[in-house]
Structure 1
Amino acid sequence: MHDLTNAELVSRAKLHDESAWREIVGRHLPLLWSTARSAGLRDADAADVCQYTWLALAENLHHIRTPAKLSGWLITTARHEALRVRKVRGRELPVDLWGPPEPDFPSPEELVLADEQAVKLWRAFSGLTDQCRDILRLIAYAPDLTYQDVAEALGMPVNSLGSTRSRCLAVLRRRVGAEVGV
């Protein structure tokens, strides 16, 4: 099943082929998860977005016009649902005040340093183009996806993905270096 294209998997799934469904889920779950988490959702909300997206696929499988672009359809569906959930639930993170303390909780100094580094990284990342952010996010959060899957999801030629990714990383390195003052 691993060597089948998305179009072939969709065709088999339409015929109720359970192994095709398993392959679709296995191939795209990291992509959906990263899409939901990149919207700033908690794990439970991200899981709900993934579940909603799979349900939407099951309900709309026979209506998908371009099965070869399944990855893009799933990303779009997950992104829309994640934005809806975020709007409804907000960005609050619940805190269990009565639960056990975190093991090996970092010191306040370590937290401040980590926050500063994260701010610098995310500031540099947010200055990238939309295409660069999408490429780097997909490759980082869904490492099991092939370049073909990533290119398909982003609607770009697969032969330009590697060079575009390299340029994006180079720009990110320069921007992080400028933030740090290297």
Structure 2
Amino acid sequence: MGKAENVTGSPAAQHQLDLVPDALLAGRAADGDTAAFEALARRHGPLMRATARRLTGSQADADDVVQETLVQAWKQLDNLRDPAAVKGWLLRIVGSRSIDHLRRRRNHAGLDAVENQVEHDAKPQAADPEHSAVITSRVEALKAALAKLPEEQRRCWVLKEFNDQSYEEIALTLNISQASVRGRLARARITLARMMEEWR
């Protein structure tokens, strides 16, 4: 039987929903309250979009991933066992949808996005041309090193270093165990440290 839509209309009511805990919102959304679901989307949408952007390397794909995630989540909320874990559940769907997009595009886990972020984060602040040249060379070396990482290691590294996600969140996003996350991150860090040895 489908959800019976229960829309809370006024802006004041919507603002109040923004203060409601995830567990209550998820429970109400599962019962068909679209306003509660929209509150969840507003709350977690930015992180979902940022995660999809990092993984796909495309803002357009990220927007598609978020929309697909919300559609899937709305249809499957009844299957969510722990309403308080809705954030991780949404991120797991984002991860799965992002990987689907990557497979269709046959790219390398959003490497373009990684390179752009590396350049942005390491952009020289000083006007010293010599210092700027050193920073630029280091950025290029890091980009080259990231390109050589296996896809599954690069995904974990991006989510940890750029999205600042916990091991648990990465595991949920990529639908793998926390032990696998730790192992992949450890191997990625060892490889990057070895490749970047001359820049220490």
TM-score range, shorter chain: 0.5 to 0.7
CA distance in 2, matches of 1:162, 1:109: 38
Q: How far did residue 174 of structure 1 move?
A: 1.2
Matches of 2:102 and 2:27 in 1, distance apart?
Answer: 21
Residue range with higher mean Cα deviation, 15-24 or 55-64: 55-64
- Structure 2 partner of 1:118: 139
Size of the aligned set, in residue pairs, is 149
Cα offset for 1:109?
3.2
Q: 1:135 Cα shift?
A: 0.7
Change (3 A) 1:24 1:106: same
Partner of 2:29: 12
State the TM-score, normalized to the length of structure 2: 0.55
Q: Larger relative CO (CA 8 A, sep 6+): 1 or 2? A: 1
The match for 2:64 is 52
State whether residues 35 and 78 of structure 1, in contact with CA within 8 Å, keep that contact through their aligned partners in structure 2.
Answer: no
Q: TM-score, length-normalised on structure 1?
A: 0.59
Paired residues of 2:52 and 2:66 also in contact (CA < 8 A): no
- Gaps of at least 5 residues in structure 1 are 85-103
Same amino acid, percent of matched pairs = 14
Superimposed CA distance per residue, residues 15-65 of structure 1 (whole angstroms, 9 cap, x where no aligned partner): 3223322343254233123235xx3x5xxxx2x444333333344445569
| Aligned CA distance change for structure 1 residues 163 and 80 (closer, same or farther; 3 Å) | closer
The structural deviation recorded for 1:115 is 2.2
Q: What corresponds to 1:137 in structure 2?
A: 158
What are the within-5 Å matches in structure 2 for residues 158-177 of structure 1? 158-177=178-197
Structure-2 change in CA distance of 1:161 and 1:77 (3 Å): closer
SS of corresponding position for 1:156: coil
Q: 1:27 to 1:120 in 2, by over 3 A?
A: closer
Aligned equivalents of 1:142, 1:168: Cα separation in 2? 16
**Which letter maps to 1:121?**
L
Question: What RMSD over aligned residues (CA atoms) do the two structures have, in Å?
Answer: 3.9
Q: Is the 8 A contact 2:156 2:170 kept in 1?
A: yes
Query: Structure 2: 5+ residue runs without aligned partners?
Result: 1-19, 81-88, 107-124
